[in-house]
Structure 1
Amino acid sequence: MAATMASATRSTVLTLYRQMLKESRKFTGYNYREYALRRTKDAFKENKTLTDEVEIKAFIKKAEKNLEIIKRQVALSQLYTDPKLVIEEQK
């Protein structure tokens, strides 16, 4: 039973991680996009060693809230686009 719970939790965390990265890549602004990607990766690395079920569930809940925030902010960033930065220009 514990193994099933652990694998279900692992798949939930991996799904959340992938969704957050996917949504973060949709930001039109370079700085927002890079910040969201970096912050997502850092948060998941920091909490990689969690073993307590309560802490893991709290982290999942927080990540789900952050995913919703990212989705809303991406929608707003797509409404008000800025010109691309020099660092973003494609050749």
Structure 2
Amino acid sequence: MSTATSTKVLSLYRNFIRHGHKFSSYNFRDYTVRRSRDAFRSNMTETSKDKIASFIAKAEQDLAIVKRQAAISQMYTNGEHLVVEAPKH
């Protein structure tokens, strides 16, 4: 994988994690972060340039969805937290 491609993939991964943490609901937040990590790890050993390009294109589309849903989630938050969540100080 070229340096530009690996930089692009790393940037996508960071954005997934960053925007996944913006969900107000613990369940959506945890699912998005866990699913993002799993998806990137499962494709980590791919060497085919065509497959990598299709994975990047799909990841960019999915990132747009995560960004949009995280923004909507923040608009309609109720302020209540689940017991499993760490209290915010």
* TM-score normalized with structure 2 length: 0.92
For 1:80-91, what aligned pairs fall within 5 Å after superposition? 80-82=76-78, 83-90=80-87
Give 4+ residue runs of structure 1 displaced > 4 Å after superposition: none
Q: How many residues are aligned here?
A: 87
- Whichever of the two has the greater Rg, that structure is 1
Instruction: Identify, as 1 or 2, the structure richer in helix.
Output: 1
Report how far residue 16 of structure 1 moved: 0.5
Give the secondary-structure state (helix, strand or coil) at the position aligned to 1:88: coil
Counterparts in 2 of 1:87 and 1:55: CA distance versus 1, 3 Å: same
For 1:1-91, what aligned pairs fall within 5 Å after superposition? 6-82=2-78, 83-90=80-87
Q: Tell me, which stretches of 5 or more residues in structure 1 are unaligned?
A: none
Output one character per residue of 1:33-53: Cα deviation in whole Å (capped at 9) or x when no partner. 000000000000110011000
The percent of aligned pairs where both chains have the same amino acid is 47
| Distance of 2:11 and 2:74 partners within structure 1 | 24
Two-structure CA RMSD over aligned residues (Å):
1.4
Report how far residue 81 of structure 1 moved: 1.1
| Distance of 1:37 and 1:89 partners within structure 2 | 16
Q: Tell me, which stretches of 5 or more residues in structure 2 are unaligned?
A: none
Counterparts in 2 of 1:89 and 1:46: CA distance versus 1, 3 Å: closer
